Structure 1
Amino acid sequence: MWTGLLLAGLVVTLGGLVQGLAGFGLALVAVPILALLDPSLLPVPILITAMTHSIMSLAREHAHVDWRGVGWAILGRLPGTVIGVLLVDSLDQNQFSLLIGVVVLLCVLLSITTWNPRPTRTALVIAGLTSGSFGTAMSVGGPPVAMLYQNSPGAQIRATLAAYFVLGSITSIIGLLVAGQVHAPQVVTGLLLIPFLVAGFLLSNPLRKLVDAKGVRTPVLLLSTVAAVTLILRSALG
């Protein structure tokens, strides 16, 4: 148990560092690997750690939040949360892992295309709906919204996504709680992972002004691709 927790903690530390620099990436880095280590770490423990990271990020750069964008994205997230709860309740572990792998891989593929999205009202609502669905089901809720802000200044990306993740994580946890999908051991595990998350966040402090989102984009996408493909193969063979 403690060995598994330590390994999960190291993964969360790396994810916390990446998200502290780019504004997103905790889920892309951590979720595929945690799903391989122990599927029970998803979605509640990682939602708790993601919410904690977002609160710290918001406190650090709150002046740069695009609150208009956050509002429209949250509007889409509310019905998306219901879809996510239904996904958690209806899929077995193999299907769940396969879905995580496919979703992460699709996010990576979209990220490397020439698609140049903008945070318009309609795009934000659609991104929030998608983010709410997958964020609730598997904690991978960042990429749909993050891609809309990929050409924004680093501080605005980090602050806006942090505000969205705080509200979105609360919505997802409440939805899972109402559906009976939140259990005490998951909450305890999430709390035990917070010190590792804080370590990653603190490591990002002296680096965030030197590294913008593009600086960490390639390693995040590569690591996510390897983990996602591994998950898909494991699900197919398992």
Structure 2
Amino acid sequence: MSPADYAVLGATMFVASGLQGSIGFGAGLVAAPVIALVEPSLLPALVVMLACVLTLLVAIRDRAALDVRGASWALAGRAPGSMLGAWLVVAVSATTLSWIVAIAVLTGIGSAFLGWRPARTPATLAIAGVLSGIMGTATSVGGAPMAIIWQGLPPARIRATMSAFFLVGSLMSVGLLAFAGLVTPAVVQAFLLLVPVVLAGFFASRWLNRFLDADRLRLAGLFAAAAGAVVLAVRLILGG
């Protein structure tokens, strides 16, 4: 990739990390469409690896608010979902995967705007975990199912619980993607270059949390993610 490509990815990951550090999810929604435009071969491994760093930081910061029981039920579903997602990455072409990214992002955003609020039970938490595992491993966009199931909780609890869930789930996904040969030298290089940007975005979120309204920040992130997904879809249509 060129320096300009890295600059675009760096700016994207800074915004994505700041968003997730503030509301507990959204990094994949923002970053995946842009990475699919710049260098689709980096998906989904790059975003999943960067998510490990970001979710660890947020989980440590907000650990006092963690819902251990809810996270445990969700993780019970994440494991089989991650295996299905890893199979999907190997089974489909890069173009098909890019379409899946665009559709997954727009579906997640649509659900968030519609305000669907399913009851939180062990069964629904596990089902959300399965869907998150499939989407997160295959496309790096696994936040929507968990954001829907945990919406309405206090902000700190959402951030802590989602971050703990995504930390364990992302580590599962990285292991499966590595086993499938998808953690390439190019992915590792991009990861090492972008980790400092993720750290900067996380620390910026601590400052933003004091001054910005979380609902407005969430809407801004959703609009940005939708724009990226639409641009990706248009490019696929014109190119295909």
Question: Do these two structures clear the TM 0.5 threshold for a shared fold by scoring above it?
Answer: yes
Stretches of 4+ aligned residues off by more than 6 angstroms:
none
In structure 2, what is the equivalent of residue 29 of structure 1? 30
Residue 117 (structure 2) pairs with residue 133 (structure 1): no
Counterpart amino acid of residue 207 in structure 1:
L
User: In the aligned structure 2, how far is the partner of 1:212 from the partner of 1:130?
Assistant: 29
**Aligned ranges 1:48-87 → 2 under 5 Å:** 48-87=49-88
Contact 2:86–2:177, Cα closer than 8 Å, also in 1: yes
Shift of 1:210: 4.0
Does structure 1 retain, via aligned residues, the 8 Å contact 2:13–2:31? yes
Offset at residue 149 of structure 1 (A): 1.3
Q: After TM superposition, give the deviation of residue 41 of structure 1 in Å.
A: 2.4
Instruction: State TM-score, norm by structure 2.
Output: 0.95
Q: Cα gap change, 1:210/1:68 in structure 2, threshold over 3 Å: closer, same or farther? A: farther
Could you state the TM-score of these two structures normalised by the residue count of structure 1?
0.95
Deviation digits for residues 104-133 of structure 1, max 9, x if unmatched?
Answer: 111111111142223321111111101101
Distance 1:109 1:65 in 2: 27
Q: Which residue of 2 aligns with 1:118?
A: 119
Residue 4 of structure 1 aligns with an amino acid whose one-letter code is D
Q: Which runs of 5+ in 1 are unaligned?
A: none
Check 1:122–1:25 CA distance in 2 against 1; reply closer, same or farther (3 A cut).
Answer: same
Cα contact 1:49–1:191 (8 A) shared by 2: no
Deviations 1:154-183, CA, capped at 9 Å, x for gaps: 100100111011100100011112222222
Query: Is contact 2:65–2:156 with CA below 8 Å preserved after alignment?
Result: yes
1:58-112 Cα distance to aligned partner (Å, 9 max, x none): 1111111111111111110111111111111112121111111011111111111
Partner letter of residue 151 of structure 1?
Answer: G
Which ranges of structure 2 fall in alignment gaps of 5 or more residues? none
The CA deviation at 1:225 is: 1.5
State the shift of 1:209 in Å: 3.9
Q: Count residues with an aligned counterpart.
A: 238
Indicate yes or no: 2:148 matched with 1:144: no
Change (3 A) 1:234 1:147: same
- 1:47 aligns with 48
Q: Go from structure 1 to structure 2 and tell me whether the alpha carbon gap of 1:42 and 1:127 turns closer, same or farther (over 3 Å shift).
A: same
What is the CA–CA distance in structure 1 between the aligned matches of 2:75 and 2:194, rounded to whole Å? 26
| Percent of paired sites with the same residue | 37
Match of 1:223 in 2: 224
TM-superposed CA distance for 1:3, in Å, is 2.0
RMSD of equivalent CA atoms: 1.3
For residues 210 and 71 of structure 1, the distance between their equivalents in structure 2, rounded to whole angstroms, comes to 32
